[in-house]
Amino acid sequence: MTLLETISLLRTQIEADISGLTSREDAERFRLTHLVKKGTLQSCVDGLRSVPKEDKPVVGKALNELRALAEAGYQEALDTYGAPAPIPSIDTTLPARGARSGAIHPITQSIQKLVEIFGSMGFEVAEGPDVEDDAHNFGKLNFADDHPARDMQDTFFVENRERADVLLRTHTSSVQVRVMESMKPPIRCIMPGRVYRNEAVSARSLAEFHQIEGLYIAKGVSMADLKGTIMEFARQFYDAHAEFRFRTSYFPFTEPSCEIDMSCFLCKGDGCRICKHSGWLEICGAGMVHPNVLRACGIDPEEYSGFAFGFGVERVVLMMTGIDDIRMLYDNDLRVLGQFQ
Ligand code: PHE
């Protein structure tokens, strides 16, 4: 059979195939049979080599016409039935990667736990602004005008064209003031939040950290209520069999003031790494709200009394985990954070 005869037969076949194209899949099959490199048309082209020179124009022309016909038929089927589905760029047969779940940051976890425990004792959560004024952070808390805590070295001041007393709160006691100004006793609030101090960052201190403040104002509140509240909290949070030590201390906004220690929950007082071999852990600063503070916030100290306490949340996390560098809580290293699921 000459190549011309083969082409003629192929033409009959291609015409029949074209008239049978009724789907995208048909068109694809047609392309794979006739139009690709290993298809029928190309094998005719390959055959051209052995056609005598004088016959080449006729055979070549017939072949070109057939290719045009086949391509037009294919194109028409594509236009009618759509292009073949693209080869997917992802391999859907690969096994899936396991989903990694996130976790709540240990600082937030601790705040949630503390809020829950104090909540069970009737304390509500109150919040205040991070950017404060001098009155709420110092003045109404009975800090003398020349108190060193107002010093530029401790406090971050915020530039403000209208006033010079804008600052980032240095403790959550500012929220005490806001709560007393806006609520009528009895008041029982717990106030978690960020605080800021212009301190060098080290393994033991940060310039930005968290505190939790507690405040209870009502008729006849005494130091005994303070002791009972803190002991109940510490026994729920740290150690059901803890012993306590109340040391006298000084804060401008409380009188009397104290610092409260608890027997180390790890060594039970024998001395270990967590308690720096003292057997005791300092858990908070506290005291009876100073009459000057009550007065400055519009509460009559003759009628009401109250206690306040406050402590740093990061320190709690360090104690509970045995981590000895506070910066690790802020490095966002998943090898550390992943351990607090
Ligand atoms: N505000 C104090 C501090 O930042 C802590 C404190 C709060 C002490 C309430 C007594 C009462 O150190």
Using a 6 Å cutoff on CB, does residue 177 contact ligand 1? no
Residues 74 and 115 in one domain: no
Residues 214 and 299 in one domain: yes
Residue 96 lies in a domain: no
pLDDT tens digits for range 146-177:
888 777 668 999 998 999 899 999 999 999 99
Residue 334 lies in a domain: yes
Residues 72 and 199 in one domain: no
Nearest-CA residue for atom 3 of ligand 1: 171
Nearest to 175 by CA among 137, 144, 206, 209: 137
Residues 249 and 336 in one domain: yes
Using a 6 Å cutoff on CB, does residue 286 contact ligand 1? yes
pLDDT tens digits for range 90-132:
888 888 888 888 889 999 999 999 999 999 999 999 999 999 9
C-beta separation of 244 from 262 below 8 A: yes
Residues 190 and 283 in one domain: yes
pLDDT tens digits for range 305-316:
999 999 999 999
Task: Look up residue 312 and give its two tokens.
Answer: 């740093």
Nearest-CA residue for atom 6 of ligand 1: 310
State the residue range of the domain holding 310.
106-340
* Res 292: pLDDT: 97
Residues 117 and 218 in one domain: yes
Nearest to 259 by CA among 233, 284, 276: 284
pLDDT tens digits for range 78-91:
888 887 677 788 88
Confidence of residue 340 (pLDDT cuts 50, 70, 90): confident
* Res 81: pLDDT: 87
Residues 192 and 274 in one domain: yes
Residue 88 lies in a domain: no
C-beta separation of 135 from 173 below 8 A: no
Question: What is the spatial distance between Cα 304 and Cα 307, in angstroms, rounded to a whole number?
Answer: 11
Q: Tokens 């290993």 map to which residue?
A: 38
**Percent of the chain at pLDDT above 90?**
74
Nearest-CA residue for atom 7 of ligand 1: 310
Q: How far is the CA of 143 from the centre of ligand 1 (A)?
A: 12
Q: How far is the CA of 29 from the centre of ligand 1 (A)?
A: 81
Q: Is the pTM of this model over 0.95?
A: no
* Res 84: pLDDT: 65
Question: What is the spatial distance between Cα 318 and Cα 328, in angstroms, rounded to a whole number?
Answer: 10
Q: What sign for the dihedral angle of Cα 128, 133, 139, 140?
A: negative
* Res 214: pLDDT: 97
Residues 76 and 122 in one domain: no
Instruction: Tell me how crowded residue 144 is: count the other CB atoms within 10 A of its CB.
Output: 11
Q: Residue 339 to residues 111, 177, 321: CA-CA distances in angstroms?
A: 17, 38, 10
Using a 6 Å cutoff on CB, does residue 213 contact ligand 1? yes
Q: DSSP secondary structure string, 182-246? A: H-PSSEEEEEEEEEE------SS--SEEEEEEEEEEETT--HHHHHHHHHHHHHHHT-TT--EEE
Which numbered atom of ligand 1 lies nearest the CA of 214? 9
Residue 47 lies in a domain: yes
Question: What is the spatial distance between Cα 86 and Cα 217, in angstroms, rounded to a whole number?
Answer: 72
pLDDT tens digits for range 245-304:
999 999 999 999 999 999 998 888 898 888 889 999 999 999 999 999 999 999 999 999
Residues 45 and 113 in one domain: no
Q: Tokens 């005494």 map to which residue?
A: 222
Residue 284 lies in a domain: yes
Residue 98 lies in a domain: no
* Res 89: pLDDT: 84
Using a 6 Å cutoff on CB, does residue 254 contact ligand 1? yes
Which numbered atom of ligand 1 lies nearest the CA of 257? 10
pLDDT tens digits for range 221-250:
999 999 999 999 999 999 899 999 999 999
Confidence of residue 34 (pLDDT cuts 50, 70, 90): very high
**Percent of the chain at pLDDT above 70?**
99
What's the number of CA atoms in the CB half-sphere (13 Å) around residue 159?
A: 0
For residue 182, the Cα-to-chain-centroid distance in whole angstroms is 32
Using a 6 Å cutoff on CB, does residue 251 contact ligand 1? yes
Residues 236 and 174 in one domain: yes
Q: How far is the CA of 99 from the centre of ligand 1 (A)?
A: 43
* Res 331: pLDDT: 92
Q: Tokens 């059901």 map to which residue?
A: 240
Residues 188 and 118 in one domain: yes
Mean pLDDT of 52-62: 92
**DSSP E strands, the chain:** 124-125, 131-133, 166-168, 187-196, 208-218, 244-251, 254-263, 280-289, 305-312
Q: Tokens 């859907």 map to which residue?
A: 92
Using a 6 Å cutoff on CB, does residue 209 contact ligand 1? no
Task: Look up residue 248 and give its two tokens.
Answer: 């006298």
Tally of domains in the chain: 2
Q: How far is the CA of 122 from the centre of ligand 1 (A)?
A: 21
Using a 6 Å cutoff on CB, does residue 138 contact ligand 1? no
Residue 303 lies in a domain: yes
Task: Look up residue 289 and give its two tokens.
Answer: 């709200």
* Res 196: pLDDT: 97
Residues 111 and 46 in one domain: no
Average pLDDT, the chain: 92
